[in-house]
Amino acid sequence: MTSPKFNSPKSQLPNWIIWIILGLCILPIILLLSGVNFSSPPLGNELEHSGLMSANSYQEAVFQSLAGAFTHFMLEWSAVAVAFATAILAFIQFRITGNLATPIIGMALLCAGFMDAFHALASTQLIKSVADNENFIPLTWAVSRMFNALILLAVTLFILIRIKPTGNLRKRHNTVVITNIILLLISYIVVRLCARSENLPSTMFPEDIITRPYDVVPLLLFIILGLVIFPRFYRRERNVFSHALIWSMVPAVATQLHMSFGSARLFDAHFNIGHYLKVIFYLVPFTGMLIDYLITYREEKKRLALLAVAHRELERKNKELEQFVYIASHDLQEPLRTVMNFTELLHQDYGERLDDTANTYMNFIQKASSRMSALIKGLLDYSRIGAAKKRKTVNLTTLINSVIEDLNASIKETGAVIELSQMPSLPVFETELRLLFQNLLTNAIKFRKKDIPPHIRINSREKDDSVVITISDNGIGIAKEHQEKIFSIFKRLHGNDEIEGTGIGLAHCQKIMNLHGGQIWVTSEKGQGSSFNILIPLNHDEESE
């Protein structure tokens, strides 16, 4: 059961813990050979002459007689408590990492702990059996050990054969739930059968070399798990928990050796040592799970710190970029305005003296200057998006109606019809959202079919914790291969000779929806009109503002 050497120390139990495990397993046998007595008196031995005892002596004899039962009960419930704690950590780890194997193995250990609890309750006769307790109590031990070995073998093979390391998160949750329900049902059925069976076999043979033959099968299974199955599981998972499972087989095998070849009666030395080693068996995976949890916590803390640094750096870069865009655009306005003004003066004062070719060139200069002015304005608007620090609740019906009024000249010129359904009131960045609707409605009017007036419908619907607003038109549509590209800055599908524009409008819309923590997408077919959908979350993070 040597640990694999191909992995990093982070995925293995520390060497000092491994030495402690080995020491805890070897120490009892050394002390036993040195003369230390680990046995407890059999139940009832101290009470054989109770009739001749005083009241105080009788009370002391009762406590001495029950010492073995008390010791056994404490050891069993210690094992159950550790199994329960391991299962809880396993589910916490699953929530953090999504590792499907962890909760399944954790639940298998918990179910094994339930079987140990069944044995503990049977030994104190809190669980009654229809069969004789002389056979029922030792049998519950044998059943719990067999169940422990078999369930670990079964779930580990199931994980290795059937479960992929990655997959759909919902399916992985369902797999965990279904597997855990099956394990709990199996545990209950085994307990029920043992308690209801009238004829139970003898499990203890004090005179034979193998005093408890029913413990030999779990012994062999634990050896197979430690030498074959768990090393394969570790090579797949490569974490401390899976490495700890390998080393947990050392106390598991030691337990079975003490019980199979040493224990001849209840509460003898090998019996008590075996139960003590079983607690160690549960503690080893718990330790591995705890170390994994601490490693995950530290790595998550480190990732969050790096993310915070990257976030601050990104904010700084964004501010620098926005400042650069603003300054560059602002500084470009002045020379461009000079070009436009002098071109206009030149056209007014000397237009009649110029020939047709010169006037054509002059016209090109004026159009290019106007286009450059529109581009610079678009860049300035783009850099200003998000300048407002606070949202406010805005009635979208009122907001969109005011945008429609601003576009009244274009609407009359094209004969556009706009149908506006009742809109909700939402907490939004008003200036930015106004710009978004202005861009989308302008595009719906601009990209119309020839000789067909634009028909635009605006409606909204709730979807989960969000509102989806759809702006549909009967325009020229957008081919599917271009639908992802149109939200990139300066991306145009038509030449400026066909339809004027800057290629910034939809980039504005994308940035505005990012600001709101929402989404924007289009559904369209070429020649069939377009539907632009914007999704605005009803819940938003105040910290992000």
Cβ-contact 163, 175 below 8 angstroms: yes
**Crossing angle between the packed helical segments 269-350 and 67-97, to the nearest 10 degrees:** 20
The rounded distance, in Å, linking the Cα atoms of 71 and 272 is 8
Q: Output phi, psi for 456, to 5 deg.
A: -120, 130
- The two tokens of residue 281 are 């068996």
| DSSP-based three-state secondary structure for 8 | coil
- The two tokens of residue 527 are 């020649």
- Evaluate the CA torsion angle 198, 201, 203, 205 in order and state its sign: positive
CA distances for 334 relative to 134, 142, 328, 338, 384, angstroms = 103, 92, 11, 6, 19
The rounded distance, in Å, linking the Cα atoms of 385 and 387 is 6
Closest CA to 288 of 259, 228, 248, 322: 248
Per residue, the 3-state secondary structure of 329-384, as one string, reads HHHHHHHHHHHHHHHHHHHHHHCCCCCHHHHHHHHHHHHHHHHHHHHHHHHHHHHH
pLDDT tens over the chain, length 545 residues: 444 444 556 789 999 999 999 999 999 999 999 999 888 766 555 545 445 555 555 455 545 555 667 787 888 888 889 999 998 988 888 888 878 788 888 888 888 888 888 777 777 767 666 556 566 777 788 888 888 898 899 889 888 887 766 555 556 567 667 776 777 787 777 767 766 676 777 778 888 889 999 899 999 999 999 999 999 999 998 899 999 999 999 999 999 999 999 888 878 899 899 999 999 999 999 999 999 989 888 888 899 999 999 988 888 887 777 777 667 666 667 777 777 787 888 777 777 777 878 878 788 787 777 767 766 766 666 666 655 567 888 899 999 998 888 888 888 888 899 999 999 999 888 878 888 898 889 888 888 888 788 899 999 998 878 899 999 988 888 877 766 777 766 555 444 444 454 557 788 788 888 888 898 888 888 888 889 999 998 876 544 44
Q: What is the dihedral of CA 181, 184, 190, 195, to 10 degrees?
A: -120
| DSSP-based three-state secondary structure for 471 | strand
How are strands ordered across the β-sheet holding 530-537? 417-420, 455-463, 466-472, 530-537, 519-524
| DSSP-based three-state secondary structure for 472 | strand
Other C-beta atoms lying within 10 Å of the C-beta of residue 273: 25
Helical spans, DSSP H, in 228-268: 230-237, 240-261
What domains can be seen in the chain, in order of their start residue? Answer: 387-545 (3.30.565.10)
- Give the pLDDT confidence score for residue 111 in this predicted structure: 83
The rounded distance, in Å, linking the Cα atoms of 510 and 519 is 8
- The two tokens of residue 376 are 């610079």
Closest CA to 112 of 236, 255, 243: 255
The rounded distance, in Å, linking the Cα atoms of 282 and 278 is 7
- Give the pLDDT confidence score for residue 27 in this predicted structure: 95
Other C-beta atoms lying within 10 Å of the C-beta of residue 147: 23
Q: What is the DSSP letter of 531?
A: E
Cβ-contact 426, 396 below 8 angstroms: yes
